[in-house]
């Protein structure tokens, strides 16, 4: 049996799956935790990857490996290839003002024109999540660090490079990425399939080395002297890797409930949404992957568990015992600020509180519904830019919530397919690794999306209506 491995270096943890390259059958897997926080030194990801590989029984018998990972994180390297400072993650909002500055500058003072100009240039309107805004923040807040930047990578690029032996073995020439993750930087264009170094220079003030963008099935750097045996694949951003695992086709939409809430879809043409609600990223195969991404998904459920003093099954039991709409109790889930809509300083809120609806069951129901309503808004945003929504898949850690699985069809007004719980990002990376190994033009014919449970429910549009009426009623956190 030929074995391949896939990695998901996600916000909260690192997961490794080992699969049969021919059939896709799961052979073994492992995982390890990442530290908390929105600023993390990349060596923690490397340590977690080693631990997850060991937990998965090692790589000695594995022929190829690809790394999928959280997108956008700013990994800055000096001329010796050393990490200059902790990486700012996708959910770090300190670069919100930098995003406003970049938009205003490109529009010559006109924010609307600037937003459209960015969307036309790179497919997305900058928000604090995108790497380009983090580099502008670095230039303004830490000029001494900005001056030392010799190369910029993303989490998955950096881990791939480390697996290849890093500076000592492959140098900066061996720094590689793929088009899905490159398209989330804010300085790579899905229209020209190339870096926009002019926009990078605008942000950082210089143009450091950038990872070479590999083709979908192209092998990464090889260091003959280095001990790593497997062939390295290009890897991918996490949502693009999940799309590979699910075998998404046009009309399919994935809703991922990880730390981020993500609505993603395959599109045959690039998207340029000047409203910024949909980001026009590329996928990892040659198509496009428009996304609507929130900062608040599974951790909203974690927070509700904490507030109510229950575990996840307990939260589900409570939520399912309350009526749809929680008798008017509305939870706005912007606990970490928000990205879609772009409200980086916002806090969450509970609206419509009355004596009759302030029970643990109502609070639990409102938390689940609020999180799902924010993602239903993402589905609307997809439709508004012409992305068809025919089949919806539910994945990510939050998909393990029974309440989420039962309530989502009613909130979205759609049937929802729930594939067997699994590590879809790591699985997609493994499928890519098998593709690279095969040398074929198309990925191997294994897909993890078979065996999905179809969840149905009576639509409850009033839940979304009461959410929409309360959505703007939030206060900002103290500066
Ligand atoms: N049974 C469950 N019900 C609801 N949420 C769960 C359950 N099990 C795990 N989770 C949540 O899944 C999240 C992690 O999901 P994951 O997709 O791995 O996140 P990320 O990709 O951001 O690291 C955690 O916030 C955790 O609380
Ligand atoms: O910012 C995005 C996509 O634009 C997020 O999807 C991150 O890629 C993090 O994903 P999780 O670790 O929450 O799954």
Tracing tokens 């492992």 back to the chain, one arrives at 30
H/E element, 59: none
**Res. 17: pLDDT tops 60:** yes
Provide the 10 A C-beta neighbour count for residue 206. 14
Distance 397 CA to ligand 1 centre (A): 3
Q: How confident is the model at residue 221 (pLDDT cuts 50, 70, 90)?
A: confident
Q: Which residues are catalytic?
A: 238
Q: Per the structure block, which two tokens stand in for 76?
A: 């800055």
Q: Is the dihedral of CA 466, 338, 407, 353 positive or negative?
A: negative
71 annotated to a ligand binding site: yes
pLDDT in tens, 19-30: 999 999 999 999
Q: Among candidates 318, 407, 400, which has minimal Cα distance to 363?
A: 318
Helix, strand, or coil (residue 215)? coil
Q: Which residues line ligand 1 (CB under 6 A)?
A: 10-13, 258-259, 298-299, 301-302, 312, 396-398, 400-401
Q: Give backbone dihedrals phi and psi of 62, rounded to 5 degrees, phi first.
A: -100, 135
What is the mean pLDDT of the segment spanning 76-95? Answer: 98
**What is the 297 CA–ligand 2 centroid distance (Å)?**
11
Token pair of 372 as six digits: 């799902």
pLDDT score at 451: 78
Pocket test for ligand 1, best of 14, 298, 418, 419 (most atoms within 8 A of CB): 298
Does 44 belong to an annotated binding site? no
Distance 474 CA to ligand 2 centre (A): 24
Quote the ipTM score.
0.98
Assess whether pLDDT exceeds 60 at residue 225.
no
pTM of the model: 0.96
For the record, the structure tokens of 462 come out as: 């009033």
Per-residue confidence at 229, pLDDT binned at 50, 70, 90?
confident
Ligand nearest to the CA of 71: 2
104 membership: H or E segment, kind and range: helix 96-106
Do 189 and 122 touch, CB atoms closer than 8 A? yes
Cβ(131)–Cβ(137) below 8 Å = no
Calculate ∠ Cα 461-401-238, nearest 5°: 95
What residues flank ligand 2, with Cβ below 6 Å?
Answer: 10-11, 70-72, 90, 129, 184, 238-239, 258-260, 262, 291, 293
Ligand nearest to the CA of 301: 1
Q: Which ligand is nearest to the CA of 405?
A: 1
Q: Using CA positions, which residue lies closest to atom 15 of ligand 1?
A: 397
pLDDT tens by residue, 268-293: 999 999 999 999 999 999 999 999 99
């Amino acid at each position: 049996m030929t074995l391949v491995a896939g990695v998901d270096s996600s916000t909260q943890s690192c997961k490794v799956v080992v699969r049969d390259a021919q059939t896709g059958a799961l052979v073994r897997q492992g995982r390890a935790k990442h530290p908390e926080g929105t600023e993390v030194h990349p060596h923690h990801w490397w340590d977690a990857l080693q631990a997850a590989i060991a937990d998965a029984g090692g790589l000695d018998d594995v022929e190829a490996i690809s790394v999928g990972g959280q997108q956008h994180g700013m990994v800055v390297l000096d001329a010796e290839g050393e990490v200059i400072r902790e990486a700012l993650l996708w959910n770090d909002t300190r670069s919100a003002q930098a995003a406003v500055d970049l938009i205003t500058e490109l529009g010559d003072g006109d924010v609307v024109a600037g937003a459209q100009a960015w969307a036309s240039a790179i497919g997305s309107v900058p928000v604090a999540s995108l790497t380009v805004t983090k580099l502008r923040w670095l230039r303004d807040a830490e000029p001494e660090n900005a001056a030392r930047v010799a190369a910029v990578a993303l989490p998955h690029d950096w881990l791939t490079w480390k697996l290849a032996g890093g500076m000592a073995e492959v140098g900066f020439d061996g720094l590689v990425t793929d088009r899905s993750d490159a398209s989330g930087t804010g300085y790579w264009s899905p229209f020209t399939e190339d870096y926009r170094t002019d926009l990078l220079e605008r942000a950082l003030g210089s143009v450091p080395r950038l990872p070479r963008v590999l083709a979908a099935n192209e092998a990464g750097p090889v260091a003959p002297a280095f001990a790593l045996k497997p062939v390295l694949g290009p890897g991918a951003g996490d949502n693009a890797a999940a799309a590979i695992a699910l075998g998404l086709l046009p009309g399919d939409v994935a809703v991922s409930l990880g730390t981020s809430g993500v609505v993603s879809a395959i599109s045959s043409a690039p998207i340029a949404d000047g409203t910024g609600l949909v980001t026009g990223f590329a996928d990892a195969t040659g198509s496009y992957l428009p996304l609507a991404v929130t900062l608040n998904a599974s951790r909203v459920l974690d927070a509700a568990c904490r507030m109510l003093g229950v575990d996840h099954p307990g939260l589900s039991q409570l939520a399912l015992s309350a009526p749809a709409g929680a008798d008017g109790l509305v939870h706005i889930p912007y606990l970490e600020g928000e990205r879609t809509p772009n409200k980086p300083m916002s806090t969450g809120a509970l609206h419509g509180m009355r004596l009759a609806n302030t029970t643990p069951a109502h609070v639990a129901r409102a938390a689940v519904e609020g999180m799902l309503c924010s993602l239903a808004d993402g589905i609307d945003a997809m439709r508004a830019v012409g992305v068809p929504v025919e089949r919806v898949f539910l994945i990510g850690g939050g998909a393990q919530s029974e309440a989420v699985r039962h309530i989502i069809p009613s909130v979205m007004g759609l049937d929802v397919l729930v594939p067997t719980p699994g590590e879809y990002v790591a699985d997609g990376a493994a499928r890519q690794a098998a593709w690279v190994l095969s040398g074929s033009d198309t990925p191997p014919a294994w897909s993890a999306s078979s065996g999905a449970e179809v969840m149905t429910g009576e639509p409850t549009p009033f839940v979304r209506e009461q959410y929409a009426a309360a959505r703007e009623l939030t206060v900002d956190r103290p500066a």
